[in-house]
Amino acid sequence: MIDFTSYWGIAASVLTAASAAVVYFVKNWRDVEALKEQRRAQDAQLIGLLERIESYQRSSSEQETRYKQAYELKLQEQRNDLTREVAVVRQEGAAAVNRLYERVDSLDKQLTVSVERQNQLLDSTRRQELRNERFDKMLWSRANRRLREE
């Protein structure tokens, strides 16, 4: 039979190598499990961050929508106010133009009356001058008759 003691060194080396291999694999298995756990924690953290980002994006898009709606309402109000102001200004302008037309018409009428009166005065003046000339002629003719008679 083979003596066990002669193989004691080989058996011890094999056992040491086997135990080293087992310890190495157990350590690596623990490291792999720790890495898996760390990976799960990072995945969970990443999912939490992605959910937070998604909620921030959702809330920001909702807020943007609200701001756009508020802006559109304000813009519409400004447009309505401006339209009303333009309508009022146009009405006032139309009223002012109408008043100016009325004044021009009244001035035109006054000018027409004034021209008619001026023409009447010119006619009256001409007639008066003719009368004066006739009167002067009559006076001169009478004066001349008296002078002749004398």
Q: What is the pLDDT of residues 76-110, one digit of tens each?
A: 999 999 999 999 999 999 999 999 999 999 999 99
CA-angle at 94, arms to 88 and 99, nearest 5°: 125
CA distances (Å), 135 to each of 12, 120, 123, in order? 176, 22, 18
The count of residues in the chain is: 150
Amino acid code (one letter) for 48: G
pLDDT of residue 7: 75
Alpha helices in the chain, H assignment, sequence order:
8-149
**In total, how many domains does the chain have?**
1
pLDDT of residue 1: 47
Q: Which residues of the chain have pLDDT under 50?
A: 1
pLDDT of residue 59: 95
Name the percent of the chain lying above pLDDT 70: 96
This prediction has a pTM of: 0.46
SS3 category, 3: coil
Strands (E), the chain: none
Q: Which domain holds residue 20?
A: 4-149
Residue matched to tokens 């756009």? 68
Longest dimension (CA), the chain: 213
pLDDT of residue 85: 95
CA distance 134 to 125: 14
pLDDT of residue 143: 77
pLDDT of residue 3: 67
CA distances (Å), 20 to each of 11, 33, 91, in order? 14, 19, 103
Long-range contacts of 4-12 (CB under 8 A, 24+ apart): none
pLDDT of residue 147: 74
pLDDT of residue 2: 61
